[in-house]
Every structure is written in structure tokens, then in C-alpha cells.
Structure 1
Amino acid sequence: MSSVDVSVVMPTYKREKDVVEAIYSALRQEGVQVEVIVLDDSAEGTARDAVQGIGDARVRYFKQEVPSKGRPALVRNHGATLATGRYLHFLDDDDLLAEGALKAMVSALDARPDAGVAVGWVVPFSEDPEWLEDKSTYFERVAKVGAMTPNSAWTVAHILFLGTLYVNSACMVRREYFQPLGGFDPNIPVYEDVDFYMRGIRRYGHVYVNRPILNYRVGKPSLMNDLGKTGAKVEKSVAESNAIIHNKYRREHGELEYRLLQMATRALKGRFGLTRYLPLKLP
């Protein structure tokens, strides 16, 4: 068995200052053995000096031989092949792990061998007060919904038909399940993380960790800020991604299950207390 509990896989692209802060947030985690795998997706390897300058044997730097050109799924999938930990955590290079986050998630999964994924709270931060107020309200609501509906059937239905409950860096998955799930899908323009963790929750179930896990950057220059903008290009990417995710689900699990989840979502929307009677896992 590996002595590493968590492999923190961190793609980075020309964010030398941010990535160092993200790395330190992982190295400060107590109560677990971590390794940090940094994958530099820039052609120039711009983060090499900053990352290697940390001087910690737990940090491993790799330069992508072929840059992904903005497809983080490819970089994360590569990082997973280099990992040795029992669990995988994919941390974006501009976000920060909350204190005690990894221990809380590892403990939750160790206590629930029937679950493959752990998810927890997101606490946004930003230099933009307007964005911060808006997203703080959003993530507070999401945390309440997650705590009230811990079963996997409702979580999958909510993600499909009401909107995602989680972001990439607030989740953890058992490493042994990564390859059976097929990793992140590089054909999805955006929301490839939503697709991956939804598939993981659908197949292996999940455990909800009712505490802050991630300090999540919102506003410029974050991905959420970009997706929050209006514009034909962004709208096209979002629509294309949603179509791929929904079509994949229908092919894999059938039209009947898809429609039943859709009907359950309509019937139980706003009645989260009733969703606890749904199965912990779908068959």
C-alpha cells in the first residue's frame, strides 16, 4: 500500500505566483501524507524555476511535452498516471485548499469504503466585491443543498437538471477508480470536471464532507468569471458541453433512467428533505 494518502495533481499555465501559493496550501495540510504533482502546460515551461525553487521533495514538476492548448482534461489525465497516492485531488493552480481539507476528505472516504468520491464546501474569494457577494450567496446555497441531500441519486439528478453542486478542486476520488471511469473527457469544451465527478458519483457513490474544502478564486482572471460572461462563443461552448454530457448519460444509462431522474427533479425541486428517501446509489 502506498505511503502517500493524497496525490494533489495541479496543472498550471503561466501563473507562477498563484501556483506557488496553491502548492503551499497543499503542503500545509496536516494529518495526511501528500505529494504534489505540478504539470506545466506552457510551451516555455514558465513555472519550472518557481516550483522547483520550493525545494520540497513532496513536490514533483513535469513539463507537458505537448501543450494541451487549453484542454485541462488532457493534463489532469497525464497527472493521474504519475500519481502514487490512495486518493486523487485535482487542484487548480489559482485556488487554495482550506486548512484540514485533505484530512477531512480522506477520513470521510476511509469511513465509507462503499463511496468513491468525496465532495465538500466551496468558499469563494475575490478582489471584486460584486463577484464575491454574488458567488458567496451561490456557494452558500449549494452547501446547504449538498448537506440536505447526501444521496448520490439526487446529486446526479441535480447536476443534470438543476445545475452543478461542486467544482473540480472541492472533490476527491479514489485513485483505483480513475482509469475505470476513463478520466476526464477532453472532448468536452468546458465542464469536463462536472462530467467526470458526476460519472464517478453515479458509478461509485459519494460522501458529503460538511465543511470548507476549497478557497475558490472568482472574478478576474478565474474560469468562473469567463463562463459568467455573455457572448456567442461562451454560450456555444456551454451548450455544446451540456449536450455532450446529457447524450453520454443517456447512452450509458438509458433513456428511461434519464427521464425518471428528470421527472424526480421536477417533482422534488425545492423539497430537498424528501430526496433523502431516494437510493444512496443508482443501480
Structure 2
Amino acid sequence: MNSFLNEKPLLSIVMPSYNSEEYIVEAIKSVISQTIHSWELIIIDDGSKDNTASLVHEFTNKDNRIKFYTNKENQGVSATRNRGISLANGEWIAFLDSDDLWEKEKLEKQIESAKKNKAMFIFTGSSYINESGIKYKGIFEVPEKVTYKQLRKQNVISCSSVLIKKCLLKDIKMERDDMHEDYAFWLRILMTGHIAYGINEPLLIYRISRNSKSGNKLKTFTMTYQVFRFIGLNPISSFYFMMNHVLGSIKKYKKIGQTISG
């Protein structure tokens, strides 16, 4: 057992899980490997039918920074992340999906960026792997900072790359799993005047799954349109910004390219 039981963590990491037995062990290990140690990992299972719970319990029995909760019934990723935020004790909130991974210096570099830029919202670039863990050749580069108006043109913020002050989330929640709920979340936060700061390093290892929202291009464009309607844009403006995303996504996935073994 470690010695963090009576300490308030600096960071709270929210990880939703649903039938995650194939990947969740790797995700947890990437948190444990972080060069910053003052964290708690809040894993909330959303009604899994597989072996997720027993795999997580192997970690909770060894590390009291890892906490496991279950939803009484399946609630979806937005409600599950919101619950994780409400349970968090840390000053900062990070999100990590159960099939993604972090490089070991991810959190440390974000805290350094926060101090340097007096930032409250930090995200990073990404590298990519497929369902089998094979790396893609390209990486996703991010700008030094992004405002609300800039983010409307292209979503450069990957959910699993985000570190954000908990106080910014007091009055804003994730909503509606039928669209890109995280993108709508970032837009609503930046609408208040905040700026998100990027670290242009692939500190997130993002897993591209054929069954994910990002894996179905037609579906993802439709959900992007719904994001703009949700935040209050009219149909014409929503279509315009959606088309910006279409063009941006084409460039993005062309740059990612084939897997290294491909």
C-alpha cells in the first residue's frame, strides 16, 4: 500500500468504463507510471457485463489512490464523467478513457504548463494506435492556445488529453451522448472567456476503434452538427462549421496515415 491515504490529491483522474476488460489494465498502468504521484484515479463502471470489475479490483487492492465505483444502471459516458467530477477531491481534473494511454510525463508537463502560462485548461497532442496496439505513423499536432472562436473551426482538444481546474466545471456538465459531448463541453467552457493551452507533444496515445464515435465518419460529422445546434448556433452556421470539421478531419487522418507495420 502507498502512503497517499490521508493526503488530498493534486489531481483527480476520471475514467469511465464499460466492458473495458481488453484495454483497461494498460490504461491504469499508464496512470500509475506518471512522474507525478499526487493523484487519485476514479474509475466508474457503467454496467459492464465482462471482467472489468475484477481486473480493476486487482489494482484497488494494491493502491489506495485508485477508487472504483459502479453505476446502478447504464447511464452513458456523460453522466458517468459528471459523477466522477462530483466525486473528485483534487484541484485539477483529468480525463482518461479506458482504452487510451498516457506517456509517463503527461501530467507533470501539464502542471508545468499551467504554472508557466497561469493556465486553467491544458491539453496535449496525440499519437495513435489501432485496436491491436499497433502505432500509426503520424501524430496530431496542437496549437499553443485556442479560444472559443478558434475551437469552433476545428476541435483540437482530445478528451483524454485534458487537464482542467475543477472550479471551471462547477456550473457546466457534460450532456447528450448522441453528439460529441466532450466537444460541446469544451466550447461551453471557452464561451465564458477562458483560453485552453496546448502542449504540442504526443503525450496522449489515442486508440482508434472501428466502433467508436470517431471511427464512423458520417456519424461523427452529424454529431458535430448537433454540437453547434446544442450551443445555440443557427442551422446555417452549424452547417458551415461542420464543413470546416469535415475538411479538417480529412487532413488529420491523411496525416496520421497507415500503421507503422502497414
Q: Counterparts of 1:88 and 1:248 in 2: how far apart (Å)?
A: 24
- The corresponding residue for 2:190 is 201
| 1:116 lines up with 2:98 in the alignment | no
Q: Counterparts of 2:134 and 2:116 in 1: how far apart (Å)?
A: 39
Q: What percent of counterpart residues are identical?
A: 19
In terms of fraction of residues, the more strand-rich structure is: 2
- The corresponding residue for 1:152 is 146
User: Is this contact kept in 2: 1:132–1:219, CA < 8 A?
Assistant: no
- The corresponding residue for 2:257 is none
Which of 24, 31, 34 is matched with 1:19 structurally?
A: 24
Q: Counterparts of 1:67 and 1:75 in 2: how far apart (Å)?
A: 9
Q: Residue 30 of structure 1: SS of its match in structure 2?
A: coil
- After superposition, the Cα gap between the structure-2 partners of 1:10 and 1:77, relative to the gap in structure 1 and judged at 3 Å, is same
Structure 2 gap segments, 5+ residues each: 1-6, 249-262
Q: Counterparts of 1:217-232 in structure 2 under 5 Å? A: 217-225=207-215, 227-228=216-217, 230=218
Number of residue pairs the alignment of both structures matches: 231
User: Is this contact kept in 1: 2:127–2:136, CA < 8 A?
Assistant: no
Deviation, 1:8, is 0.8
| 1:78 lines up with 2:60 in the alignment | no
User: Is this contact kept in 1: 2:18–2:48, CA < 8 A?
Assistant: no
- After superposition, the Cα gap between the structure-2 partners of 1:249 and 1:42, relative to the gap in structure 1 and judged at 3 Å, is closer
Deviations 1:181-203 (A, max 9, x none): x1211x25131111112222332
- The corresponding residue for 2:4 is none
In terms of fraction of residues, the more helix-rich structure is: 1
| 1:59 lines up with 2:48 in the alignment | no
Amino acid across the alignment from 2:207? R
- The corresponding residue for 1:178 is 169
- The corresponding residue for 1:213 is 203
Deviation, 1:41, is 0.7
Q: Residue 11 of structure 1: SS of its match in structure 2?
A: strand
- After superposition, the Cα gap between the structure-2 partners of 1:97 and 1:151, relative to the gap in structure 1 and judged at 3 Å, is closer
- After superposition, the Cα gap between the structure-2 partners of 1:67 and 1:128, relative to the gap in structure 1 and judged at 3 Å, is closer
Q: Counterparts of 2:26 and 2:13 in 1: how far apart (Å)?
A: 14
Amino acid across the alignment from 2:45? D
User: Is this contact kept in 2: 1:11–1:76, CA < 8 A?
Assistant: yes
Q: Counterparts of 2:131 and 2:47 in 1: how far apart (Å)?
A: 26
- The corresponding residue for 2:228 is 246
Q: Counterparts of 1:7 and 1:94 in 2: how far apart (Å)?
A: 18
TM-score (norm 2): 0.77
- After superposition, the Cα gap between the structure-2 partners of 1:91 and 1:130, relative to the gap in structure 1 and judged at 3 Å, is closer
Deviations 1:26-62 (A, max 9, x none): 1110134111111111255742211011221111000
- After superposition, the Cα gap between the structure-2 partners of 1:62 and 1:178, relative to the gap in structure 1 and judged at 3 Å, is same
Deviations 1:1-39 (A, max 9, x none): x73121111001111241111011011101341111111
Amino acid across the alignment from 1:47? T
- After superposition, the Cα gap between the structure-2 partners of 1:200 and 1:7, relative to the gap in structure 1 and judged at 3 Å, is same
User: Is this contact kept in 2: 1:19–1:93, CA < 8 A?
Assistant: yes
Deviation, 1:72, is 0.7
Structure 1 gap segments, 5+ residues each: 270-283
Deviation, 1:94, is 0.3
| 1:167 lines up with 2:162 in the alignment | no
Q: Counterparts of 2:44 and 2:66 in 1: how far apart (Å)?
A: 11
TM-score (norm 1): 0.72
Q: Counterparts of 1:53 and 1:130 in 2: how far apart (Å)?
A: 26
- The corresponding residue for 1:281 is none
